[in-house]
Homo-oligomer: A and B are copies of this chain.
Amino acid sequence: MTEAIEIEEQFNALRSLIHQGDISQFRDIFLDWHVYEQGQFYLSLSDEERQTVYSFLSPTELADMFDMIEEEEEDVQEYLAEMRPSYAAAMLASMYPDNAADILKQLDKPTLAQYLSIMASEKALDLKELLHYEDETAGSIMTTEYVAIVANQTIKSALNLLKKKAKNAEIIYYIYVVDELERLVGVISLRDLLVGEDDEMIETLMNERVISVKVADDQEDVAQVIRDYDLLAVPVIDYEDNLLGIITVDDIIDVIDDEATSDYSGLAGVNVDETTENPLKASSKRLPWLITLLFLGMSTATLINHYEVLISEASILAVFISLITGTAGNAGTQSLAVAVRRLAVSDDKDESFFKLVISELLTGLLTGLITGLVIFIVVGFWKHNFILGFVIGIAMLCAIIVANLAGSLIPMLMERLGFDPAVASGPFITTLSDLTSVLIYFNIAGLFMNFFVG
């Protein structure tokens, strides 16, 4: 709390320097801050205040801060639009290429072309290449600013080279070793360079078993590699082992975050990163799902309607509809969540497919048996009618088994068809299981009608 107030005061002090036009004191304070705080300050400014900031700071100075804010902010294009094009292009050229490419991807074609034409041609070529890679692949999140050296040199010469390159590289703690054809042949950590003797050769020290990813690999697989091997960065190669770039751990944290958010959103049937608190916008995003599910639910209603005669003869049946659909829905959601997670971490999808279905089938049988038994006893005593209890119990058992099967099969089918299994959302499974549960329930009840009527 006190820290938040302190920061607020510092922001206000700096803002008044903008209003006074005190460029030198502004620069003293602002440039001393961490880029994250610089970003938070920048985001708090008004249009006019930002214009003054552009006159106070060089494009390069602004670039460091933009490296921090680009991944969170949706308004980055608008910020660029309010800068002079030459200023914006210079800033983009000074950013880390992966971040600059992320921003450029969001621009319309003419603006993109304009910025690229202003930049130095080498830089523009670099960025154009990054723009080619498909979304969510290793290529699309890698940066081209890494340190690569050849094997045939001493530690001392490597360290000297590193000193020169250190300023521009995104990470200098792994140094990649390439051959004359730019093929990745080894890696050496800065720690090893420091600990080693000056005249040791890189080729004897380097580790030839380099962990690397392919440029077309899915970003989630890259995240798995970085997590498994506890890496700070991983090199990206093409299919001829040429080193193309590196992916750093901070970008992977964002991937892991996004992945978790999309799984969570899928289960809830809503985009939980809904940043808006505007109820109109929020509603417009949630309604498509709600209405779709409403129509799916209508088929359940139609089905119940089909059994209306049964209900009018034994209205007690209506009492247990929502209990059975609800419980089966809960079981199905559990099964779905386990299946989605299991698929995400499994290496051999085929093997896990059968294992998981069998396991869920048996789990459904067991949980169904016990839940069915409990409800049989409860309803039997409550209604003094053990036949009714039996019907409810058996219906519960069958409905839970079917829900468990659906909960595990649907995400796996989606995976096989090439969709993200996480979008087989919770509400979808529950609504679907409502339908099957009602069907099961009334068919079983129909067999025992003689015992309820009258």
A residues contacting B by CB (< 8 A) are 4, 32-34, 36, 68, 159, 162-163, 166-167, 172-173, 190-191, 194-195, 209, 211, 226-230, 232, 249-250, 252-253, 256-257, 260-261, 263-265, 267-270, 272-274, 277-280, 282-283, 286-287, 289-291, 293-294, 297-298, 300-301, 304-305, 308, 311-312, 315-323, 325-327, 329-331, 333-334, 336-338, 340-341, 347-348, 355-356, 359, 362-363, 365-367, 370-371, 374-375, 378, 426-427, 430-431, 434, 438
Chain B residues in 8 Å Cβ range of A226: 253
Q: Are A283 and B367 in contact (CB under 8 A)?
A: yes
Chain B residues in 8 Å Cβ range of A367: 283, 286-287, 290
Chain B residues in 8 Å Cβ range of A316: 305, 308
Q: Are B326 and A293 in contact (CB under 8 A)?
A: yes
Q: Are A321 and B323 in contact (CB under 8 A)?
A: no
Find A430's partner among B260, B312, B430 (CB 8 Å cutoff): B430
Interface centre among A36, A195, A282, A311 (most CB of B within 10 A): A282
Q: Are B260 and A232 in contact (CB under 8 A)?
A: no
Q: Are B287 and A338 in contact (CB under 8 A)?
A: no
Query: How many whole Å from A442's CB to the nearest CB in chain B?
Result: 11
The 10 closest A-B pairs by CB, nearest first: A268-B337, A260-B260, A279-B362, A318-B318, A270-B334, A312-B315, A283-B366, A272-B341, A279-B363, A230-B250
Chain B, residue nearest A173 (CB): B173
Q: Are A277 and B356 in contact (CB under 8 A)?
A: yes
Interface centre among A36, A252, A334, A366 (most CB of B within 10 A): A334
Chain B, residue nearest A228 (CB): B36
How far, in angstroms, from A323 to B33 measured CA to CA in the complex? 56
Q: Are A289 and B334 in contact (CB under 8 A)?
A: yes
Question: What 4 additional pairs, Cβ within 8 angstroms, besides A163-B194, A232-B232, A330-B430?
Answer: A172-B194, A227-B250, A249-B249, A312-B315
Query: How many whole Å from A401's CB to the nearest CB in chain B?
Result: 12
Find A268's partner among B191, B334, B371 (CB 8 Å cutoff): B334
Chain B residues in 8 Å Cβ range of A268: 267, 333-334, 336-338, 426
Chain B residues in 8 Å Cβ range of A426: 267-268, 333, 426
Q: Are B294 and A374 in contact (CB under 8 A)?
A: yes
Q: Are B326 and A325 in contact (CB under 8 A)?
A: yes
Find A166's partner among B191, B334, B359 (CB 8 Å cutoff): B191
Q: Are A269 and B330 in contact (CB under 8 A)?
A: yes
Chain B, residue nearest A270 (CB): B334
How far, in angstroms, from A298 to B326 measured CA to CA in the complex? 10
How far, in angstroms, from A430 to B328 measured CA to CA in the complex? 12
> Given the interface contacts A263-B264, A279-B366, A311-B311, does A286 sit within 8 Å of B334 by beta carbon?
yes
Q: Are A363 and B283 in contact (CB under 8 A)?
A: yes
Chain B, residue nearest A280 (CB): B366
Chain B residues in 8 Å Cβ range of A334: 268-270, 286, 289-290
Find A322's partner among B272, B312, B325, B374 (CB 8 Å cutoff): B325
Chain B residues in 8 Å Cβ range of A232: 173, 232, 249
Q: Are A311 and B301 in contact (CB under 8 A)?
A: no
How far, in angstroms, from A286 to B356 measured CA to CA in the complex? 16
> Given the interface contacts A167-B195, A363-B283, does A301 sit within 8 Å of B327 by beta carbon?
no
How far, in angstroms, from A173 to B173 measured CA to CA in the complex? 7
How far, in angstroms, from A195 to B426 measured CA to CA in the complex? 53
Interface centre among A260, A277, A370, A374 (most CB of B within 10 A): A277
How far, in angstroms, from A256 to B302 measured CA to CA in the complex? 44
